[in-house]
Amino acid sequence: MNEEHMEVVMGLIMHGGNAKGYAYQAIQDAKAGNFDEADQKIELANQELKAAHDTQTGMLTQEAQGNHVEVDLYMVHGQDHLMNAITFKDLAVEIIELLRRLDEK
Protein backbone atom coordinates (compact mmCIF):
# COMPACT_ATOMS: atom_id res chain seq x y z
CA MET A 1 0.00 0.00 0.00
CA ASN A 2 1.37 3.38 -0.90
CA GLU A 3 1.52 6.38 1.39
CA GLU A 4 -1.12 8.37 -0.53
CA HIS A 5 -3.63 5.53 -0.22
CA MET A 6 -3.01 5.26 3.52
CA GLU A 7 -3.48 9.05 3.92
CA VAL A 8 -6.87 8.79 2.20
CA VAL A 9 -7.93 5.91 4.44
CA MET A 10 -6.72 7.66 7.59
CA GLY A 11 -8.52 10.84 6.50
CA LEU A 12 -11.80 8.94 6.25
CA ILE A 13 -11.26 7.38 9.67
CA MET A 14 -10.14 10.63 11.29
CA HIS A 15 -12.89 12.84 9.88
CA GLY A 16 -15.52 10.18 10.49
CA GLY A 17 -14.37 9.72 14.07
CA ASN A 18 -14.30 13.46 14.68
CA ALA A 19 -17.81 13.85 13.26
CA LYS A 20 -19.17 11.07 15.45
CA GLY A 21 -17.46 12.56 18.49
CA TYR A 22 -18.97 16.00 17.86
CA ALA A 23 -22.40 14.44 17.36
CA TYR A 24 -22.07 12.59 20.67
CA GLN A 25 -21.03 15.82 22.40
CA ALA A 26 -24.04 17.54 20.82
CA ILE A 27 -26.39 15.01 22.39
CA GLN A 28 -24.74 15.53 25.79
CA ASP A 29 -25.11 19.31 25.42
CA ALA A 30 -28.78 18.94 24.52
CA LYS A 31 -29.39 16.64 27.49
CA ALA A 32 -28.01 19.42 29.68
CA GLY A 33 -30.33 21.95 28.01
CA ASN A 34 -27.50 23.67 26.11
CA PHE A 35 -29.13 23.69 22.69
CA ASP A 36 -26.99 26.44 21.18
CA GLU A 37 -23.87 24.43 22.02
CA ALA A 38 -25.51 21.29 20.64
CA ASP A 39 -26.24 23.09 17.37
CA GLN A 40 -22.62 24.26 17.18
CA LYS A 41 -21.36 20.71 17.69
CA ILE A 42 -23.65 19.44 14.93
CA GLU A 43 -22.21 22.11 12.65
CA LEU A 44 -18.69 20.92 13.52
CA ALA A 45 -19.77 17.35 12.77
CA ASN A 46 -21.10 18.51 9.40
CA GLN A 47 -17.78 20.17 8.61
CA GLU A 48 -15.91 16.95 9.40
CA LEU A 49 -18.32 14.94 7.26
CA LYS A 50 -17.83 17.38 4.38
CA ALA A 51 -14.07 16.91 4.61
CA ALA A 52 -14.51 13.13 4.48
CA HIS A 53 -17.00 13.44 1.63
CA ASP A 54 -14.54 15.58 -0.33
CA THR A 55 -11.96 12.81 0.07
CA GLN A 56 -14.49 10.26 -1.10
CA THR A 57 -15.43 12.40 -4.10
CA GLY A 58 -11.76 12.64 -5.03
CA MET A 59 -11.54 8.85 -5.09
CA LEU A 60 -14.67 8.56 -7.22
CA THR A 61 -13.29 11.15 -9.64
CA GLN A 62 -10.05 9.18 -9.95
CA GLU A 63 -11.97 5.99 -10.63
CA ALA A 64 -14.17 7.74 -13.23
CA GLN A 65 -11.04 8.98 -14.99
CA GLY A 66 -9.79 5.43 -15.34
CA ASN A 67 -7.32 5.52 -12.45
CA HIS A 68 -8.30 2.50 -10.39
CA VAL A 69 -8.56 3.16 -6.66
CA GLU A 70 -7.33 0.25 -4.57
CA VAL A 71 -10.08 -1.22 -2.40
CA ASP A 72 -8.69 -3.20 0.50
CA LEU A 73 -9.65 -3.94 4.08
CA TYR A 74 -8.24 -0.57 5.19
CA MET A 75 -10.46 1.27 2.71
CA VAL A 76 -13.50 -0.75 3.78
CA HIS A 77 -12.71 0.09 7.41
CA GLY A 78 -12.45 3.80 6.56
CA GLN A 79 -15.76 3.70 4.69
CA ASP A 80 -17.37 1.92 7.67
CA HIS A 81 -16.21 4.71 9.97
CA LEU A 82 -17.63 7.32 7.63
CA MET A 83 -21.01 5.63 7.19
CA ASN A 84 -21.36 5.06 10.93
CA ALA A 85 -20.54 8.72 11.57
CA ILE A 86 -23.17 9.87 9.06
CA THR A 87 -25.81 7.63 10.63
CA PHE A 88 -24.86 8.67 14.16
CA LYS A 89 -24.96 12.38 13.26
CA ASP A 90 -28.39 11.98 11.63
CA LEU A 91 -29.71 10.24 14.75
CA ALA A 92 -28.13 12.89 16.97
CA VAL A 93 -30.02 15.60 15.09
CA GLU A 94 -33.28 13.74 15.72
CA ILE A 95 -32.50 13.15 19.40
CA ILE A 96 -31.62 16.82 19.88
CA GLU A 97 -34.90 17.86 18.24
CA LEU A 98 -36.85 15.57 20.58
CA LEU A 99 -35.01 16.94 23.61
CA ARG A 100 -35.64 20.51 22.40
CA ARG A 101 -39.38 19.82 22.11
CA LEU A 102 -39.48 18.27 25.58
CA ASP A 103 -37.62 21.28 26.97
CA GLU A 104 -40.20 23.65 25.48
CA LYS A 105 -43.09 21.94 27.30
Catalytic residue chosen out of the listed positions 15, 53, 77, 81: 77
Question: Is 53 a known active-site residue?
Answer: no
Q: Are 29 and 38 in contact (CB under 8 A)?
A: yes
Q: How many angstroms separate the CA atoms of 49 and 44, rounded?
A: 9
* Maximal C-alpha separation, the chain: 57
Residues noted as catalytic: 77
